[in-house]
C-alpha cells in the first residue's frame, strides 16, 4: 500500500449451475488464494453463487434461500481467515417481493453493502427482465442475518485511511455498456476504483470490443477498473462464457485473463497516480458539482507492503514494440518538421542556419530541417550546416558532420573558432590550460554567436539542437547552445533522439546517408569542449551528468505523474534490477533533483519549440515552474533513501 499501490484481483471460479454450496466452496478457496497473493480487493463474477444461466430457476424459492445461506457462510468465513480484503460476490436476492441481481460487498466477517444491477438487458441473447427488477439508485436499508446494510447503487466504500483517495464503486455487467452508466456518478463522487461483476458471453470479436470499452471507461473516468466475468461452469445451452477478466488503470490494461481459462487475475493499482491525474485534469468535475446523496461507508484495512507485479518500462518515452516505435518516430518527425514548416511559412525566411557537430542532437535537428524544407518545396541548399571545430573536436565527429551535410545536399560551411576563442581567453584573462566551465562555455557561446551572425547575413533562422533531457538537467550553456530561433528538439528526450535517428537511417533509402547516420549513432555523446586524448573523445557526457536512461526515467515519472523521490527510487530499483545497483540509482536521482530545480532559470527563457509528447518543459506550456523554487522538500526525502 506504500506509495499508493494496492493489489487487486478478478477471480472466476469454475461453478455448477444452481449449486450455491459448491459454488461457495469454490469462491472461498479462491479468496484464500487471492489473499495469499496479497490481493486486498477481490471481485467475483455476476450471480456466481448460483450461476448466471439459471434462467427460470431464479424464480425458485429454494434456490434463492440457498444463495442467501451460502452468502452468510462466505461472510462468516472471511471473519475467520484473518484477512481483511474487500470482496464482491454476485447473487440473486429478493427485496420487498422483487428479485434483484446484486453484488454483496464483504469484509472481515461483515456484510458491508448490497449493490443491485441498475440496467437489466432484454435483447439478443439476454432476457433478464423476465426475472430481475432494475436496481434502485438511492440506498435503502436491508437486513440480512440481523445486520442492516445499505441496498442501492449510490454506495461507495471508503478506504481513504488506508490508501489515500481509495474509494470503491460497484456496477454489474450491462451497467458499463449503457450511455448513462453508474460508474460516471461513482467517479464524480470520488470513486477511484470501479468494480464490475459480469457475465458477458463470448461471440466472435466481442473480447476485443469489451477490452476497448473497459479501457476507454477507465480512461474517461480517470479510475482503476476491475472487470470480472463468468467462465467455465456456466450452462452452454445457447451461449458460452470465457472468463474474460480485465484490470485497467486510467486506460492502460494492466492484466487480462486468457479466454476460456478460469482463474485469478492479479494487478497492482496505483491510487496515487489516479489522484494525480484527476488533480491535473481541471475538467474532471468534483463531487460538489453533483446533487445526489451518496452513502459513503468508511472502512479500515491493514497497511501492508504491496509486492509490485506491474512492469515499468525502463525507457518510458520509447515504445518497446518495434512497429509501435516506428509509428512513434514517424509521428514525432512529422510534428517537428511541420512545426518548423509553419514558422518558415509565417516569417517568409528561406534560409536555415544550424550548427552540426557530428553528434546525435544536431544530426536530428538537421534531418528535421531538411524535412521541413522539402515540405515547403524550398531548395536544400538554403540550409547552411555550419561545422565549427575547436579544441575538443575529433576527426570522427568532424568527418561525420561534413559527410552528413554532403549526403543531404545542404550547404556546408566551416568556421574554425580556435583563434576567436583564444583571443577571447586573452581578453578576459582566462588561462587556456585551465579546463574549467569558463573554458567550455566560451566555446559554446562563440559557436552561438557565429550562428546568429550568419543567420543575420542570410536573413535566416538559427535552428536549435538541444533536447529535452539536456534542458531538464540544465546541460546547456546559457546564451550559448541554450539559445536559438526555433528549438526543434525541445520536446524530445535523449533516449528517444537515438531511435529517431535510427528510424531515419532505416527508412532513408540512401546507403551513403545510412552509413553516416549509423556512425553518428555509434559515437559517444559528448559536447567535445575538452581536448581529445590520442585523437579520441575524452569528455563523455554520461560520465559527468549520469546515464540518460535513468534521467529520462526520473523525468517521466516526476513530471508526468508527480511521483515523489522515494516512489521513483522504488520503481527504479524494481525496473533496473541487474542493470544499476541501488547506490548508483540513488546517486543519480539526487543529482537529477538538484540540477532540475537549480537550472529552471534556463528553461524559463527557452526559444519556441514543438511539444511532441505528454511530458514537456516549456515555460509557456507544461512546466510553469518558478526559477527560484526550493528543492529542499525533494532533496530531504532523497537523502533519506
User: Which residues are annotated as catalytic?
Assistant: 46, 117, 173
Rg (CA), the chain: 31
Which cell goes with 66?
A: 440457498
Handedness of CA 188, 193, 198, 201 (dihedral sign): positive
CA distance 596 to 169: 39
CA distance 120 to 125: 13
Which cell goes with 246?
A: 480485465
Angle at 167 between CA 118 and CA 1, to 5 degrees: 140
CA distance 528 to 533: 11
The owner of cell 474474460 is 244
Helix (H, G, I), strand (E, B) or coil at 88: strand
CA distance 385 to 413: 6
CA distance 549 to 171: 41
CB 554 within 8 A of CB 524: no
CA distance 196 to 506: 46
Scanning 166-294, the segments in alpha helix (DSSP H) are 182-188, 206-221, 271-280
CB 414 within 8 A of CB 387: yes
Which cell goes with 73?
A: 457462510
Q: How many residues does the chain have?
A: 641
Query: How far lies 580's CA from each of 47, 320, 575, in Å?
Result: 49, 20, 9
CA distance 609 to 340: 8
Nearest to 117 by CA among 46, 53, 52: 46
Nearest to 370 by CA among 360, 355, 361, 382: 382
Burial of 607 (0-12, 13-18, 19+ CB in 10 A): middle
Amino acid at each position: 500500500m506504500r506509495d499508493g499501490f494496492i493489489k487487486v484481483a478478478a477471480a472466476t471460479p469454475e461453478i455448477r449451475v444452481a449449486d450455491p454450496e459448491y459454488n461457495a466452496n469454490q469462491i472461498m478457496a479462491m479468496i484464500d488464494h487471492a489473499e495469499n497473493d496479497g490481493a486486498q480487493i477481490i471481485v467475483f463474477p455476476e450471480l456466481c453463487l448460483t450461476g448466471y444461466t439459471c434462467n427460470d430457476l431464479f424464480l425458485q424459492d429454494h434456490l434463492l434461500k440457498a444463495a442467501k445461506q451460502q452468502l452468510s457462510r462466505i461472510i462468516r468465513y472471511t471473519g475467520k481467515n484473518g484477512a481483511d480484503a474487500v470482496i464482491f460476490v454476485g447473487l440473486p436476492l429478493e427485496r420487498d417481493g422483487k428479485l434483484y441481481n446484486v453484488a454483496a460487498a464483504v469484509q472481515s466477517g461483515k456484510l458491508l453493502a448490497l449493490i443491485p444491477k441498475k440496467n437489466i438487458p432484454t435483447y439478443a441473447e439476454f432476457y433478464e427482465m423476465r426475472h430481475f427488477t432494475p436496481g434502485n439508485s438511492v440506498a435503502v436499508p436491508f437486513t440480512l442475518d440481523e445486520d442492516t446494510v445499505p441496498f442501492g447503487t449510490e454506495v461507495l466504500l471508503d478506504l481513504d485511511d488506508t490508501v489515500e483517495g481509495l474509494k470503491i464503486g460497484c456496477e454489474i455487467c450491462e451497467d458499463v455498456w449503457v450511455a448513462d452508466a453508474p460508474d460516471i456518478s461513482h467517479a464524480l463522487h470520488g470513486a477511484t476504483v470501479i468494480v464490475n461483476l459480469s457475465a458477458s458471453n463470448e461471440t466472435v470479436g466481442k473480447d476485443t470490443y469489451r477490452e476497448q470499452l473497459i479501457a476507454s471507461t477507465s480512461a474517461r473516468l480517470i479510475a482503476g477498473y476491475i472487470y470480472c466475468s463468468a467462465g467455465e461452469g456456466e450452462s452452454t445451452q445457447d451461449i458460452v462464457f470465457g472468463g474474460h477478466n480485465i484490470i485497467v488503470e486510467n486506460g492502460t490494461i494492466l492484466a487480462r485473463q486468457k479466454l476460456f481459462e478460469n482463474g485469478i487475475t492479479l494487478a497492482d493499482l496505483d491510487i496515487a497516480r489516479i489522484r494525480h491525474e484527476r488533480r491535473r485534469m481541471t475538467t474532471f468535475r468534483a463531487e460538489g458539482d453533483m446533487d445526489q446523496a451518496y452513502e459513503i461507508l468508511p472502512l479500515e484495512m491493514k497497511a501492508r507492503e504491496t509486492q509490485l507485479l506491474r512492469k515499468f518500462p525502463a525507457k518510458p518515452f520509447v515504445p518497446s514494440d518495434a512497429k509501435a516505435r516506428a509509428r512513434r518516430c514517424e509521428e514525432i518527425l512529422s510534428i517537428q518538421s511541420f512545426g518548423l514548416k509553419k514558422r518558415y511559412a509565417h516569417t517568409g525566411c528561406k534560409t536555415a542556419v544550424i550548427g552540426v557537430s557530428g553528434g546525435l542532437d544536431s544530426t536530428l535537428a538537421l534531418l528535421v530541417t531538411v524535412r521541413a524544407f522539402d515540405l515547403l518545396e524550398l531548395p536544400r541548399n538554403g540550409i547552411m550546416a555550419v561545422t565549427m571545430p575547436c579544441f575538443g573536436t575529433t576527426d570522427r565527429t568532424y568527418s561525420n558532420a561534413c559527410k552528413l551535410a554532403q549526403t543531404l545536399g545542404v550547404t556546408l560551411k566551416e568556421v574554425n573558432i580556435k583563434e576567436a576563442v583564444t583571443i577571447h581567453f586573452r581578453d578576459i584573462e582566462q588561462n587556456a590550460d585551465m579546463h574549467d566551465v569558463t573554458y567550455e562555455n566560451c566555446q559554446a557561446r562563440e559557436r552561438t554567436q557565429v550562428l546568429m551572425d550568419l543567420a543575420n547575413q542570410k536573413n535566416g533562422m538559427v535552428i536549435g539542437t538541444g533536447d529535452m533531457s539536456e534542458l531538464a538537467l540544465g546541460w546547456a550553456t546559457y546564451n550559448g547552445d541554450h539559445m536559438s530561433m526555433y528549438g526543434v528538439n525541445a520536446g524530445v528526450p535523449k533516449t528517444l533522439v537515438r531511435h529517431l535517428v535510427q528510424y531515419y537511417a532505416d527508412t532513408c533509402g540512401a546507403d551513403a546517408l545510412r552509413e553516416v547516420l549509423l556512425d553518428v549513432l555509434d559515437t559517444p555523446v559528448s559536447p567535445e569542449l575538452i581536448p581529445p586524448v590520442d585523437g579520441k573523445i575524452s569528455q563523455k557526457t554520461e560520465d559527468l551528468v549520469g546515464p540518460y536512461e535513468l534521467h529520462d526515467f526520473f523525468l517521466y515519472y516526476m513530471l508526468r505523474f508527480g511521483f515523489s523521490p522515494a516512489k521513483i527510487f522504488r520503481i527504479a530499483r524494481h525496473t533496473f534490477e541487474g542493470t544499476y545497483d541501488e547506490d548508483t540509482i540513488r546517486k543519480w536521482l539526487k543529482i537529477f533533483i538538484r540540477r532540475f530545480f537549480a537550472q529552471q532559470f534556463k528553461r524559463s527563457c527557452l526559444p519556441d519549440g514543438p511539444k511532441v509528447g505528454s511530458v514537456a518543459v516549456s515555460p509557456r506550456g507544461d512546466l510553469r515552474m518558478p526559477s527560484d523554487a526550493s528543492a529542499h522538500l525533494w532533496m530531504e526525502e532523497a537523502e533519506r533513501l
